[in-house]
Homo-oligomer: A and B are copies of this chain.
């Protein structure tokens, strides 16, 4: 697969859907990647299965406060520097770069560094969605180490962090990020090709592109994009409703809260609550939990399929709430311990979205 300007447009739409309400706006990432594609040409995106065992990979990601990332635009220099600072520390060059997340800004940011370095991206990521913690990736489930990792900010400050655990890197790296102005770029989880094939969620870059194409072609054909997502990608329609209340608080830099929806059409007379912490995490129908993290809960405008970030959901929006199974790695005991509802402070067990497994890419 070649990531060219057209595919990039689709991928940006799909990454916004897979961001499940958080993840940072891919728009800025798209602009940076487009510039890189125009300068260096389309970027090869290779299948996870085709990565040589001795390849050297890393995630490239923005680490910042969500609101700030939309105001202070990331620059290509810092994305590239994040990779180079880690390479200098490790003493070797990466052969491939991989998105840490399938959703949001971080789904697209690695493209800029890959293009500048003339190396391919891999059609994979470490979440199959977006999550708000750096340690919340499938490599953690396999003992994969987040560090050494680099943190580069817009002021020229550079950190190499070698942490005892992935959770420590999340805590220390996030504090350093806040102190340096809430907008940093990182290269992290250095891994071999053999490890990548064992650890990562495969096919998620192309899934984002296909999701985006579904929405784009449905709009062009005057079909309903939400129906198209459900029909073509096996998403489960959890609810159609109108937002009647949003409780929101900013806690420790997180956008936490809950949206209340009154059902419409087939869901008339019912009520759904959707809880979020940056990402949508919990969906409750008439008091019964019908979907939880790590499965994907997506909120899109009923008529257009436009994904609504949890930061922006508000009274009056008419939305569909869609569910999609997370990668099977997340649905294991270890996966649920790391990314289940309790990780986010909900006193709830995991409730799976019942999606046909076939609708998900193989991992």
Contacts and interface: CB of A to CB of B under 8 A. Distances in A.
Interface of A: 89, 155-165, 168-169, 171-172, 174-176, 178-180
Contact of A158 (B158, B162, B178): B162
Nearest to A179: B175
Contact of A180 (B155, B162, B168, B179): B168
A201 B73 CA distance: 43
A190 to B, nearest CB: 15
Given A172-B176, A176-B172, A155 B164 contact: yes
Contact of A172 (B163, B168, B179): B179
Max count, chain B CB within 10 A of own CB: residue among A155, A165, A178, A179: A179
Contacts of A169: 157
B179 A174 contact: yes
Contacts of A165: 155
A336 to B, nearest CB: 26
A180 B169 CA distance: 9
A351 B163 CA distance: 46
| Secondary structure class of chain A's binding surface, majority of residues | mixed
Contact of A175 (B158, B160, B168, B176): B176
A168 B156 CA distance: 10
Contact of A159 (B155, B172, B179, B180): B172
Contacts of A159: 159-162, 172, 176
Contacts of A160: 89, 159-160
Contact of A171 (B161, B163, B180): B180
Contacts of A158: 161-163
A171 B164 contact: no
Contacts of A171: 179-180
A44 B161 CA distance: 33
Contacts of A180: 168, 171-172
Contact of A162 (B157, B162, B175, B178): B157
A172 B152 CA distance: 12
Nearest to A180: B172
Nearest to A178: B175
B164 A168 contact: no
Nearest to A152: B162
A161 B172 contact: no
Contacts of A156: 163-164
Contacts of A172: 157, 159, 176, 179-180
A169 B158 CA distance: 10
Max count, chain B CB within 10 A of own CB: residue among A158, A169, A172: A172
Contacts of A157: 161-164, 168-169, 172
A173 B354 CA distance: 46
Given A156-B163, A176-B176, 12 more contacts: A155-B168, A157-B163, A157-B164, A157-B168, A157-B169, A158-B163, A159-B159, A159-B161, A159-B172, A172-B176, A175-B175, A175-B179
